[in-house]
Structure 1
Amino acid sequence: MALRTAVVGGGTISGRHLDGLSDCPYTDLVGICDVDADRARSVASEYGIANYTDMQELLDDANLDWVHICTPVATHLDLATMAIEAGVPVLIQKPVTETVEEYERLKATAEKHDVPVSVVHNHDFDPAMRKLTAAIEDGAVGDVRSVEVRYAGQTYPDDVRRGEWAFQLPGGEFEEGIPHPLYLLLRVGGYPRDLDDVQVSTHLVREYDRPFTYDGTKVQYVSDSDVLCSTTLLPGDVPDKGVHVHGDDGVLIADLVSQTLVRLDRDYQASAINRALSNVKRAADRLLGNVDNLRAFVRDKRSDEWDVKTEMNSHYYQFEADALALEGRGERPVPLEEAGWTIRLMEAIREAAADQAAVTQDASVTR
């Protein structure tokens, strides 16, 4: 039986949830809730579902099996708590909450009521990431020694994307996108073995009309599985996003822009021929990856089959995996702990940025 599901929040990201849930064979999209009555009615009319402006009314009337929260992060804790206390499983847009303290409260409430809660970490399920994690599990590079996530081409803090609420964040719109590379690093490299050992550097390169504290950061730690993990996050107009995995027996490079995976498994510096072969190997892997992606894209355009859609759409892939888990068919694809570590790293970045801003301010006063 399909899960009766509603979406809370009718803003920018909710369209992916509404489209996915209306197509997914394991869900029955029944409602939309938004504080803007006109927006709620408009969305409801488009999808043929009920509309609400009050979360409690939605929970009381809709007989829900699942609710997706797609609202500004400052509202996540209160809305998720209402759903949990009503016994309704929750999927929350990233980041899980605004602070670590809020996350701990949410986790405790979920455990108290024994209600499943998860978070949208959709890029964990990009085609290249699924290939990467499968290759690691198959032992393609042996024991993993380091993971590096490069995430350049993020939006600038003052870019207008999500709405005014994003500008209240210390890093503005730039910070709104930071969870993505952090949870990718956590997924592939593991969780920090000690939060106190996490090293963070931040900088503020541009001048903004608003009091943003950073527009770039680097995070590094050693994971509980003894993997050296690092990520560099920068704004820019040219995206350059990828995951490098170094193991005892080789290297895997997932390009998140082209959604291709390169595997290097020999000493390509041994000779001039081998150095040339390195370029050939990279080009061949990317070409084959692009061919696979093109085939999947064509299938997606020609077919309305749900299985085809999930192949390229990472949101849909996670929605299906979550829905099946709620039916007892598999584990939740994103454990709440991954979301908790994401917000811990985000809070460490904020603290480092605040410290750097204070140092800069002191230096300017001294001069």
Structure 2
Amino acid sequence: MTTSIRTALIGAGYIADWHAEGLKMTPGVVLTAVCDLSKGAAEALASAHGAQAFGDLDEMLAANVCDAVHILTPPDSHAFLAKKCLEAGVHCLVEKPVALSAGETQEIQDAAEKAGKFFVAGHNFMGLPSYERLKSEMAAGALGRVGSAEINWHFPLAPLRSGPFGIWLLREPKNLLLELGPHLFGFAVDLFGPLQIEHLSLGKEIEIPSAGTRPQSWRILARAGDVDVTLNLSLVETADDRSVTVLGSTARARLNYAEDTLVIEGENASDIVMNPFRKQMGLAWQHLREGGVNALRQVSSLNRKSAYGLSFQGTFKAFYQSLRDGTPMDARFGGASAVTVMQAIDNTLALMPEVEDAPKPKRQRKPKPTVLVVGGTGFIGRALTRKLVSEGKDVRVLSRGKSGPFADIAKHVELYSASLHDPDALAGAMEGIEAVYHLGKSLDGTWEECLRNDVGVTLNLARAAMAADVNRFVYTGTIASYDMSDPATVITESTGFGEDMSDRNLYARSKAKCEEELLKLHDAEGLPLVIARPGIVVGKGGPLQHWGIGRWHGAGAVRIWGPGTNILPFVLIDDVADALVTMMDHDKAVGQSFNLIGDPMLSGRDYFAAIHKQLGAKISVSTGNLNVFRASDAVKYLLKRYALGRKGAIRPSLADWKSRAHFSPFDNRQTKDLLGWTPEPSRADFIRRAIKEADLLGF
């Protein structure tokens, strides 16, 4: 091909951003279209890259706007979409898992061969430069004769503990291996060939609401010819170890594919005194070299060549090189390899014990919802929904999917799918509703997106609620909208946010704008509004890596916002749910705002000391100098704004950074006095509920 290859993305979720950025770095390729069932999501991504947006695949294929597609939808749709695209004469790159079985994968490969098109598996980590170096070293005999290998994925999977629980990944126990296994099995198959699976061990089970248990630990023993292969998958809160270790007769190689580094440890012929010294010095030099190269690469590329970014770029380079040249596809990513990988996963899953999901109670009655919860499958939303049901209410949960964590209370909970941008759909969601809780927040990268996807959506909901003549509209703002930079300022509900919020982070600014517009509706048109601003919410179902406390570096290290010695505005999830339910029926609550802050209990350092004492997990805690944070952010802002041309980039003020440390104390008397709210008063019981019983580590 002499002209640019036209590429479309099918699916506009989180991973689509990585694909779009990777395509930018791939010569001779242009992103021309984005297709998603949510036309709004497609438009948001497409507009950022100058592409067309489609809400229907047939329409996109008929428009002849692409030569290749990247299929980024949930895995259970991959096979159908890939075959449709191949039959339409379009090359396909399919995100892992490419299908749900080896049989489905073979069907895609057969369709590709019939159409004369390429089918490529998105086994992205094999596109890393360090992995290519490992293969070269092995081919050159640098490791000697290889006898064994260990391939690890030790990395926390937060949804197992804090949701969302309705996603495809958690619907069945096997989905965990289908989703993450291709990383491990892909390396093994590419390095050593087809695997003979000999043993599977599962452990560290965790209870998923309304769905039974899921294993968080997978140990798989396999063999490929003379090579013994161990594959380890661990999803609890753990130190990050995503690596491939190959042990040969001459040396041992360790690939860290999360960081794109390769270190080879070999023997030397020095005497017994100098031998260990030379070995360790050699390793030290390699680590210095790998770290230096990576740092230089990321700085020079403005962070566009992180290990994860490079993995996509390497995969795309191989795919599009074959498309341009008409040469055979690199075996790492080809359809035949994908079939072999999925066959190994099939054989592993065949060893899983027969475990039935938790029995789902038969619905004895159809719910008659009088309360609508938007964001009901999130952390606060789940607790609120269950609290409402316990109070005798039937609840309608606005949800993207058809499943949720409420099977055990299904006769009281109705899942309802509706676009928040569609007034007619929202009108349907309001039928029979007396009270609305809006807990949602979009994830936006520019102020314009916030205005459209957060503020605009919030106003759509409020107007639909008024049209339905609801009795209460409860909106959850955030204490992050306050200026909390001054320890001498005590914050109450009468404390303002500030007239100019343009120097605040997007989350704080967007939430404040939503409150402003809702209050206008309350004052001018009688919206029965109540505003709740939760603090740092902790408890069962919440994450260990809470970014309201600090910047996390894996599960074992955190850099606290500020010194970490000031009392933080913690609040228990159950106390938040209690307050929200009370707001629904309390007449004096209308037109008021409430800061949901528990009694003064713990500083950031106190919190982590309690985790160490209660759970035995000593997290490395560092002080975060907020001036340094802001200076670093200023550099990033300049690079984004002027080097990358991102006009929507923002630079939060120093006060915004200091506010993340929550220096200002809170007075929670209004919520207590007006609502009769009684948050947990005992420090010991707070620690027990917030830490000991919260399942923060997953085991």
Aligned partners of 2:65, 2:208: CA distance in 1, in Å?
Answer: 47
Residue 127 of structure 1 deviates from its aligned partner by 3.2
Letter of the 1:234 counterpart? S
Aligned partners of 2:337, 2:13: CA distance in 1, in Å?
Answer: 25
Closer, same or farther: CA 216–312 of 1 in aligned 2, 3 Å: same
Aligned partners of 1:10, 1:59: CA distance in 2, in Å?
Answer: 17
Aligned partners of 1:310, 1:332: CA distance in 2, in Å?
Answer: 23
Aligned partners of 1:151, 1:270: CA distance in 2, in Å?
Answer: 37
Contact 1:311 1:317 in 2 (8 A): no
Q: Does 1:230 align with 2:233?
A: no
Q: Does 1:206 align with 2:206?
A: yes
Contact 1:309 1:316 in 2 (8 A): no
Q: Secondary structure at the match of 2:168?
A: helix
Aligned partners of 1:9, 1:85: CA distance in 2, in Å?
Answer: 19
Q: Residue 171 of structure 2 corresponds to which residue in structure 1?
A: 168
Count of aligned positions: 349
Provide, for residues 177-235 of structure 1, a one-character-per-residue CA deviation record: whole Å limited to 9, x for no partner: 2321221222223222xx4x5432223433332324422212222224x3222211111
Residue 7 of structure 1 deviates from its aligned partner by 0.6
Aligned partners of 2:283, 2:30: CA distance in 1, in Å?
Answer: 44
Pick the aligned partner of 2:83 from 75, 81, 84: 81
Letter of the 1:191 counterpart? P
Q: Residue 98 of structure 2 corresponds to which residue in structure 1?
A: 96
Pick the aligned partner of 1:15 from 14, 17, 20: 17
Aligned partners of 1:201, 1:353: CA distance in 2, in Å?
Answer: 8
Provide, for residues 280-337 of structure 1, a one-character-per-residue CA deviation record: whole Å limited to 9, x for no partner: 33222111111111121122129x9xxx789961101211221011112644231212
Q: Does 1:328 align with 2:329?
A: no
Residue 139 of structure 1 deviates from its aligned partner by 1.8
Contact 2:5 2:68 in 1 (8 A): yes
Greater shift, 232-241 or 72-81, is seen at 232-241
Q: Does 1:342 align with 2:341?
A: yes
Q: Does 1:317 align with 2:314?
A: yes
Closer, same or farther: CA 67–16 of 1 in aligned 2, 3 Å: same
Aligned partners of 1:350, 1:143: CA distance in 2, in Å?
Answer: 30
Aligned partners of 1:172, 1:269: CA distance in 2, in Å?
Answer: 50
Greater shift, 53-62 or 7-16, is seen at 53-62
Aligned partners of 1:347, 1:178: CA distance in 2, in Å?
Answer: 11
Residue 264 of structure 1 deviates from its aligned partner by 2.0
Identify, as 1 or 2, the structure richer in helix.
Answer: 1
Aligned partners of 2:183, 2:142: CA distance in 1, in Å?
Answer: 25
| 1:251-262 pair list within 5 angstroms | 251-262=252-263
Greater shift, 107-116 or 156-165, is seen at 156-165
Aligned partners of 2:335, 2:224: CA distance in 1, in Å?
Answer: 18
Q: TM-score, normalised by structure 2?
A: 0.47
Q: Residue 578 of structure 2 corresponds to which residue in structure 1?
A: none
Q: Secondary structure at the match of 1:62?
A: coil
Q: Residue 271 of structure 1 corresponds to which residue in structure 2?
A: 272
| 1:27-106 pair list within 5 angstroms | 27-106=29-108
Residue 124 of structure 1 deviates from its aligned partner by 0.7
Closer, same or farther: CA 166–206 of 1 in aligned 2, 3 Å: closer
Aligned partners of 1:16, 1:177: CA distance in 2, in Å?
Answer: 17
Residue 166 of structure 1 deviates from its aligned partner by 1.9
Q: Secondary structure at the match of 1:313?
A: helix
Aligned partners of 1:211, 1:38: CA distance in 2, in Å?
Answer: 34
Contact 1:249 1:265 in 2 (8 A): yes
Q: Residue 365 of structure 1 corresponds to which residue in structure 2?
A: none
Aligned partners of 1:161, 1:341: CA distance in 2, in Å?
Answer: 32
Q: Secondary structure at the match of 1:301?
A: coil
Aligned partners of 1:329, 1:248: CA distance in 2, in Å?
Answer: 39
Contact 1:8 1:34 in 2 (8 A): yes
Q: Secondary structure at the match of 1:58?
A: helix
Contact 2:260 2:307 in 1 (8 A): no
Aligned partners of 1:79, 1:315: CA distance in 2, in Å?
Answer: 21
Letter of the 1:151 counterpart? W
Q: TM-score, normalised by structure 1?
A: 0.86
Q: CA RMSD in A?
A: 2.7
Q: Secondary structure at the match of 1:271?
A: coil
Contact 1:69 1:92 in 2 (8 A): yes
Greater shift, 160-169 or 211-220, is seen at 160-169
Pick the aligned partner of 1:112 from 111, 114, 129: 114
Residue 18 of structure 1 deviates from its aligned partner by 1.6
Closer, same or farther: CA 330–272 of 1 in aligned 2, 3 Å: farther
| 1:137-152 pair list within 5 angstroms | 137-152=139-154
Residue 120 of structure 1 deviates from its aligned partner by 0.7
Closer, same or farther: CA 162–104 of 1 in aligned 2, 3 Å: farther
Q: Secondary structure at the match of 1:28?
A: strand
Aligned partners of 1:172, 1:272: CA distance in 2, in Å?
Answer: 52
Greater shift, 53-62 or 173-182, is seen at 173-182
Contact 2:128 2:307 in 1 (8 A): no
Closer, same or farther: CA 329–280 of 1 in aligned 2, 3 Å: farther
Contact 1:157 1:175 in 2 (8 A): no
Closer, same or farther: CA 278–22 of 1 in aligned 2, 3 Å: closer
Residue 131 of structure 1 deviates from its aligned partner by 2.0
Q: Does 1:280 align with 2:277?
A: no
Q: Which runs of 5+ in 2 are unaligned?
A: 357-699
Aligned partners of 2:152, 2:99: CA distance in 1, in Å?
Answer: 24
Q: Residue 240 of structure 2 corresponds to which residue in structure 1?
A: 239
Provide, for residues 55-108 of structure 1, a one-character-per-residue CA deviation record: whole Å limited to 9, x for no partner: 111111124211110000000011001111111110000011012221122222
Pick the aligned partner of 1:187 from 187, 190, 193: 190
Letter of the 1:347 counterpart? D
Q: Secondary structure at the match of 2:89?
A: coil
- Higher relative CO (Cα under 8 Å, sequence separation at least 6) belongs to 1
Q: Secondary structure at the match of 2:325?
A: coil
Q: Secondary structure at the match of 1:332?
A: coil
Aligned partners of 1:94, 1:161: CA distance in 2, in Å?
Answer: 20
Q: Secondary structure at the match of 1:275?
A: helix
Contact 2:147 2:227 in 1 (8 A): yes
Q: Residue 123 of structure 1 corresponds to which residue in structure 2?
A: 125
Aligned partners of 1:314, 1:58: CA distance in 2, in Å?
Answer: 28
Residue 174 of structure 1 deviates from its aligned partner by 6.7
Letter of the 1:97 counterpart? A
Q: Secondary structure at the match of 1:142?
A: coil
Letter of the 1:278 counterpart? K
Contact 2:25 2:313 in 1 (8 A): no
Letter of the 2:201 counterpart? S
Residue 122 of structure 1 deviates from its aligned partner by 0.9
Residue 143 of structure 1 deviates from its aligned partner by 2.6
Q: Residue 604 of structure 2 corresponds to which residue in structure 1?
A: none
Aligned partners of 1:8, 1:203: CA distance in 2, in Å?
Answer: 36
Contact 1:132 1:254 in 2 (8 A): yes
Residue 270 of structure 1 deviates from its aligned partner by 7.2
Aligned partners of 1:268, 1:201: CA distance in 2, in Å?
Answer: 41
Q: Which runs of 5+ in 1 are unaligned?
A: 359-367
Q: Secondary structure at the match of 1:151?
A: strand
Aligned partners of 2:171, 2:185: CA distance in 1, in Å?
Answer: 21
Aligned partners of 1:100, 1:287: CA distance in 2, in Å?
Answer: 42
